[in-house]
A and B are shown apart, each in its own frame.
Chain A
C-alpha cells in the first residue's frame, strides 16, 4: 500500500499493518525533517506532491519490491504540505520471514521513492530565504 498524507503520519497504526504470523523480521525507515541542510538552518519544509501520479508510481515501487524480495507486507506513506522540524516526512515498513530481505526491500523502496515520485521539497530557512531542494545526489543512490 502506498499513500500520500496531508496530515501527521500515524506510525503506530502503520506498524500494525506489518503484522503477519509468518514474519520474522520487520524493517522500518522513517525520514524526519532536520533543522539544517548544507550549512543552512532550516525552520520547516513544504512538500508539493502531484498526487495522481505519485500514488501510481509509489504503488509500482512497492510492487517491484514485492517481485524482487519475498515480502509478506509492505507499506509506504509520504507527507504533503507544511512540516515542522522532527516531523515524519516519509514512512516505509516491510515485514518478511527473515531480516535480510526486510532490510533490502526497505532500502529499495525508500531509494526509489526519493528519485521517481513527482514530489518536491521546499526548505524555509532561518534567514527568511527559501528554496526548492535539488537532490542530484539522490539520482545516484541505487540499491545494490
Chain B
C-alpha cells in the first residue's frame, strides 16, 4: 500500500466534493490512481481527454507512482 495525495480540479473537484484527499492505495501507475478515484467518485471521463501530473510534472498515464507522491488529476482542459 502507498500513501498518495490526490488533487482534483474543475469538474473533478466538483464531482468529488473536495479538492484533495490522501488515500492508502494499492497502485503502481498514475492510471491505477485515476481508476481508483473514478470508482470512488463515479467519474466516467475517458482517460484520453484527461491529463495527469505527479508532483507538479505532467506525465504519461503509465508513469510509476511512489509512496508519498501527490497526483494531480486534470479533466479536459479548455483554455482560451
Contacts and interface: CB of A to CB of B under 8 A. Distances in A.
Contact of A50 (B74, B76, B78): B74
Chain A's interface: helix, strand, loop or mixed, by majority?
Answer: mixed
A117 B78 CA distance: 8
A125 interface: no
B9 interface: yes
Given A48-B10, A50-B72, A57-B58, A119 B53 contact: no
A132 B78 contact: yes
Contacts of B49: 134, 136, 139
A89 B79 CA distance: 9
Interface residues of B, number: 16
A53 B56 contact: yes
A143 interface: no
Interface residues of A, number: 28
Contacts of A48: 9-10
A48 B76 CA distance: 12
B78 A120 contact: yes
A46 B77 CA distance: 13
5 contacts: A31-B80, A50-B74, A114-B80, A115-B79, A132-B75
Interface of B: 9-11, 49, 51, 53, 56, 58, 72, 74-80
